[in-house]
Amino acid sequence: MGYIDELKRVGRDANPFFKMMGIDVGEYGDGRARLTMEVRPEMLNGAGWLQGGVYVALADEAIALALYTLLSENERIATIDEHTSFIKGVSTGAIVATGRVVRKGRRVAFADGEVRSAADDTLLTRTSTSFAVIEG
C-alpha cells in the first residue's frame, strides 16, 4: 500500500512526523496539498517566535504530499534543493501550509509552498524546491 492510500485510510497516523507535530491533513490531490498545525509553546525559539525550522518542515511536508499525488507506484522522491524566505513570524495560533507542483518530469520535479496564518491569511514563509524522482 502506498503513502497516499495509507493517508486516506488512517489520516495523520500514516506519518509519524504529522502525529508528533499535531499536523492535520487537509485537501490533497492533482499536485496540490494543504496541511494545518497549531503553534504550541514548545515550538517557540528563545525570542518567543515559532522556530524557523518548523515553518520549513511544515512547508516541506505539504510540498512532498502535493508531489506524492502525482507519483506512480514505483516512484519515490528525494529533495535536491529547498529555499525558504521568512516573511513574518508568529507565536500563537494555527498555521496553514500549501504545496503545489510546478512541474514533474521523469527525473526532476519542481514545487513550491507557502505557510500562512490561519486567522487572517497573512503570508509567513514562501518555499521553492526541487526533487529527484527515483524509480524503483
Q: Is 35 helix (H, G, I), strand (E, B) or coil?
A: strand
pLDDT tens series, the chain, 136 aa: 689 999 999 999 999 999 999 999 999 999 999 999 999 999 999 999 999 999 999 999 999 999 999 999 999 999 999 999 999 999 999 999 999 999 999 999 999 999 999 999 999 999 999 999 999 8
Q: Fold for domain 3-135?
A: Thiol Ester Dehydrase; Chain A (3.10.129)
Residue 114, classified by CB atoms within 10 Å of its CB into exposed (0-12), middle (13-18) or buried (19+), is buried
pTM of the entire structure? 0.96
Bridge partners (DSSP) of residue 112 are 100, 128
**Which pLDDT score, from 0 to 100, does residue 79 have?**
96
Residues of the chain by 3-state class (helix, strand, coil), percent to 5: 30, 45, 25
**Which pLDDT score, from 0 to 100, does residue 1 have?**
61
CA distance 128 to 94: 22
Q: What are the domain boundaries of the chain?
A: 3-135
